[in-house]
Amino acid sequence: MSQRRRAYEIIEASTSKDKASTAFDIAVISLIFINIIAFVLETVDSIRESMPLVFEYVELISVGVFTVEYLLRIWTAVEADGYERPLSGRLRYCLRPMMLIDLLAILPAFLPFLGVDLRAFRALRMFRLARIAKLGRYTLALKVIQRVFVDKKEELVTTLAFLTLLLLFASSVLYLAEHEAQPEAFGNIPRAMWWGVATLTTVGYGDVYPVTIAGKILGAAIAILGIGMFALPTGILGAAFVEEVQKNKEPGERCPHCGRGGGVEEGGA
């Protein structure tokens, strides 16, 4: 076995009893959690000012490890099925979603060397949150959620289209009913969309609300309609998640007669 092939097996998420691959996964996951904790604590002024070197070392080590990991993945990309070509294969491999996330995780650290203005650099440091998304490569739960969204993408897109049309309709009718009474809140349809979003999502901040009789009647109807419309994606995702969990169950965990999980209850006739 070549060194490149062995490196590919180690850096890929462990699916066997490969101790080296498992150790690599644990190390990367641990470093990601350390980054999450550091990112949160760094927003507390007293903690950031009392231990600045700790955050600098965490960032330096993290960037170094994640950069080496990223380069290793590019080097070993030709070992993956469908990416065998040295140049085009690696380029296509770099465009995979997880590889883009890996790049965003280290990009802020290298921006100053590319002549990027430091003020813009401070804003782009938020890209460090991409390191949280790196957990998707190692966490089964996140992989299940990803497959759920992929499997139900057509239904979700259709639902999103309906919700967009409903938002446009709600904002339009409230604009017609309220723009004379409240020009500062409903003076145009884009302004009315703030009320539409808050109402259809049942958040109801209360900062903008109809005051005319027609507006109140329409607002009540739209609020009730919004409850049902926003239940659609919830039902789609909930049912798809249950289906995906059932698929991942081992055959031995399913009832041989009905196909349900949990086995067969004892004491039957």
pLDDT at position 25: 86
pLDDT at position 67: 93
DSSP the chain: --HHHHHHHHHSPP-SS-HHHHHHHHHHHHHHHHHHHHHHHTTSHHHHHH-HHHHHHHHHHHHHHHHHHHHHHHHTGGGSTT--STTHHHHHHHTSHHHHHHHHHHHHHHGGGGT--HHHHHHHGGGGGHHHHGGGGT-HHHHHHHHHHHHTHHHHHHHHHHHHHHHHHHHHHHHHHHTTT-HHHHSSHHHHHHHHHHHHTT---SSS---SHHHHHHHHHHHHHHHHHHHHHHHHHHHHHHHHHHHHS-GGGB-TTT--BT---SS--
Domain extent listing, the chain = 3-138, 153-253
Contact yes or no for 223/199 (Cβ under 8 A): yes
Predicted TM-score (pTM) of the model is 0.61
Q: Residue-wise pLDDT tens for the chain (269 aa)?
A: 789 999 998 988 666 678 888 888 889 889 988 988 988 898 898 998 999 899 999 989 999 999 999 999 999 999 998 998 999 999 999 999 889 888 888 887 887 676 655 455 455 556 666 677 777 676 666 778 878 888 888 888 888 888 889 899 999 999 999 999 999 989 999 989 999 988 888 787 888 889 999 999 999 999 888 887 777 888 888 888 888 878 766 555 455 444 455 444 444 43
Burial class (CB in 10 A: 0-12, 13-18, 19+), 92: middle
The number of residues making up the chain comes to 269
pLDDT at position 54: 93
Q: What CATH number does domain 3-138 carry, 3.40.50.300, 3.40.50.1240, 1.20.120.350, 1.10.340.30?
A: 1.20.120.350
pLDDT at position 159: 86
pLDDT at position 232: 81
In the block, tokens 């302004």 appear at: 191
Name residues whose C-beta falls within 8 Å of residue 222's C-beta, 6 or more positions apart in sequence.
170, 173, 174, 196, 199, 200
Tell which CATH architecture fits domain 153-253.
Orthogonal Bundle (1.10)
